[in-house]
């Protein structure tokens, strides 16, 4: 397996930070745009898509700011990878942005970014952004 490369993407979201934080940090919020369904037990989130599921450990959660997860498969393989969704507010304009930090293998980078673009498009439609 080749090494995964860290990348960041920034999306402007027309939403209050409290609504956006709820959408990125709770099972009910995440199930509206990120996956078909989400269950949580302790700090393990189970994400369901089309009959398959993937588990992720919640590493950090900063109220109103960010949430960071690590896929259990990467955790078990000893990788230092994660995916983080962080809210940034511009000091001058008060514009709200969602910063996505994730990791992908070099030959899967374009596909990974496209997947996030589609997911964030669903998020924007869900919250009316």
Instruction: Set out the domains of the chain in order of their start, with CATH numbers.
Output: 4-127 (3.30.530.20)
pLDDT above 70: residue 112: yes
Q: Are strands 66-71 and 37-41 parallel, antiparallel or unpaired?
A: unpaired
Tokens of 98: 């969602």
29-50 pLDDT per residue, tens: 999 999 999 999 998 999 999 9
pLDDT at 5: 96
Residues 6+ apart with CB under 8 A from 92: none
The stretch 84-100 carries a mean pLDDT of 96
pLDDT at 129: 79
Return d(Cα 66, Cα 24) in angstroms, integer.
Answer: 8
DSSP letter for each residue of 17-63: HHHHHHHHHSHHHHTTTTSSEEEEETTEEEEEETTEEEEEEEEEEET
Residue 73 — φ and ψ, nearest 5°?
-60, -45
pLDDT at 121: 97
The pTM assigned to this predicted structure is: 0.92
Which has the higher per-residue pLDDT, 51 or 104? 104
Q: Answer for the pair 94, 16: CB distance below 8 angstroms, yes or no.
A: no
CA-derived radius of gyration, the chain: 14
SS3 content of the chain, % helix, strand, coil (to 5): 30, 40, 25
HSE (side-chain half, CA atoms, 13 Å) at 88: 13
């Amino acid at each position: 397996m080749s090494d995964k490369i860290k990348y960041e993407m920034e999306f402007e979201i027309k939403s209050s930070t409290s609504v956006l934080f709820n959408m990125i940090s709770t099972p009910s919020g995440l199930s509206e745009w990120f996956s078909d369904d989400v269950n949580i037990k302790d700090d393990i989130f189970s994400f369901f898509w089309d009959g398959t599921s993937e588990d992720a450990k919640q590493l950090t959660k900063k109220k109103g700011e960010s949430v960071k997860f690590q896929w259990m498969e990467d955790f078990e393989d000893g990788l230092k990878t994660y995916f983080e969704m962080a809210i940034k507010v511009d000091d001058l304009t008060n514009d709200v942005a969602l910063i996505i930090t994730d990791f992908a293998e070099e030959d899967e980078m374009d596909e990974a970014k496209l997947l996030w673009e589609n997911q964030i498009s669903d998020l924007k439609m869900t919250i009316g952004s």
